Amino acid sequence: MIPAPPANPWLDAALDRVALEPESVATLFPAVGRHCGRAPLAEGWRTDDAARALLLTALPARAVVGEVRALYRYGDADEKRAVLLALPLLDVGDRCVDLLGDALRTNDTRLVGAALGPYAAHLDDHAWRHGVLKCVFMGVPLSVVHGLTDRADAELAVMLGGFADERAAAGRSVPDDALALLHILRSR
């Protein structure tokens, strides 16, 4: 669910325009931050994220996948993050799962975290496990990983255990949330 941004006449007009002229999203999407702000809304969402997600939900069904892919490809990090947050709210099936793979290859903690939201259900187990391990490695809180304890498995336990052993051997700490998950997985 998209948290409601504050009332904004510019956004209202933009939503109407996108519904009638889907191609207009290419110019409206990047302008959201200037017109709607970037204030925090709900956990993990800012005003610009919510406004951008609303623009994507206003697209006619025939235009969604193409516009989403183009906005992600040509967008800056904030725009890519908004696309990733919006994916589970759009009727795209698994046709945008490659965008998650792209985000997981970055070193941008905002994109990595957003890529492991609800739409990550479309990732295969191997890619999902590596995404979780990347969060641990980068210091992204595991609380951003949607359905973590339900999807975590013995293979992830092996991977986390190896990571923890390497960190211990190097005299480095392991994030508390990763240790807690490892404890849960080993006790199953």
DSSP the chain: -PPPPPP-HHHHHHHHHHHH-GGGHHHHHHHHHHHH---B-STT-BHHHHHHHHHHHHS-GGGHHHHHHHHHHH--HHHHHHHHHHGGGSS-TTTTHHHHHHHHTSS-HHHHHHHTSGGGGGS-HHHHHHHHHHHHHHT--GGGSTTHHHH--HHHHHHHHHHHHHHHHTT----HHHHHHHHHHHT-
pLDDT tens for residues 165-183? 999 999 999 999 999 999 9
Per-residue confidence (pLDDT) for residue 153, from 0 to 100: 97
pLDDT confidence band for 1 (50 / 70 / 90): confident
Q: Is the pLDDT of residue 60 over 90?
A: yes
Q: What is the pTM of this model?
A: 0.95
pLDDT confidence band for 128 (50 / 70 / 90): very high
Q: Is the pLDDT of residue 134 over 90?
A: yes
